[in-house]
Amino acid sequence: MAVVYDRLMKDAPYDLWVEFTKQMIVDYQPDTRTILDIGCGTGEITHRLQQIGFQLTGVDLSSDMLTVAQQKDPRANIQWLKQDMTNLEGLDQFDCVISYCDVFNYLVEESQVKCAFANIYDALHSDGLFLFDVHSLEHIHNDLSGATFAQVQDDLSYVWFCDPGEEDNSIVHDLTFFVQSGEIYQRFDEVHHQRGYMLDDLKDWLEDTGFLIQQISADFNSHYSTEGERWLFVCKK
């Protein structure tokens, strides 16, 4: 999916993620220089933060995503690493760690979430900042589970089924793509598993890891409300 990912995500709120990151750094860690972007995908947020002066490292599990990210600007001073967020190696003393676009929802076991929190805690220097988001349970149940999405373009079409998964609050994304290649269309299929978690559980796991939760908000709005499609967490080591 890496080849068509940016086209599918052209309306994603990248600017809002970047502005959120900048503001949280100003509010909670103004001396930030180094940022670790976990689940960086094709590097849209990574590149934007690097371009405004931060030192970036991008981590993703997909080598195809990382290839696309690196090719966007081969001269950019960004380190790209293929690693699993539940088994990070050789990463420490970062001022800030970010993980956006529901990356944590791809961890479908509670133990994986706890392990990732612990790895990120270890990757930060003392007083480091951790910013991430997840799908809200309301969004999973009301907008995603059981829904079907489709798009038809001249050279790209897809059908996307979101079916309830076997685990509580989980969904299975069953995607079929048709991509034009010369005079023919090539079909490829992908299945993605995601799971949502209770807000109180995430808070408990973060605090058990050692994080101090500074604020929780929804959809880039006031931190006094968690009603929305996406919960955003601001934590400090």
Residue-level pLDDT at 224: 75
What's the number of domains the chain is made of?
Answer: 2
Query: Which pLDDT tens digit goes with each residue over 180-218?
Result: 989 899 999 999 999 999 999 999 999 999 999 999 999
From CA 230, how far away is CA 215, in angstroms rounded? 14
Confidence of residue 153 (pLDDT cuts 50, 70, 90): confident
What one-character DSSP code corresponds to residue 70?
A: H
Query: For residue 73, what pLDDT is reported?
Result: 95
Q: What percent of the chain has pLDDT over 70?
A: 100
Q: For tokens 């696309």, name the residue.
A: 68
Residues 105 and 174 reside in one and the same domain: no
For the stretch 39-61, pLDDT in tens is 999 999 999 999 999 999 999 99
pLDDT of residue 3: 76
Residue 6 confidence (pLDDT): 75
Residue 220 near residue 118, CB atoms below 8 Å: no
For residue 220, the enclosing domain spans 2-135+198-236
Same domain, 20 and 89: yes
Q: Give the predicted TM-score (pTM) of the model.
A: 0.95
Residue 17: give its domain's CATH number: 3.40.50.150
pLDDT for the residue 88: 95
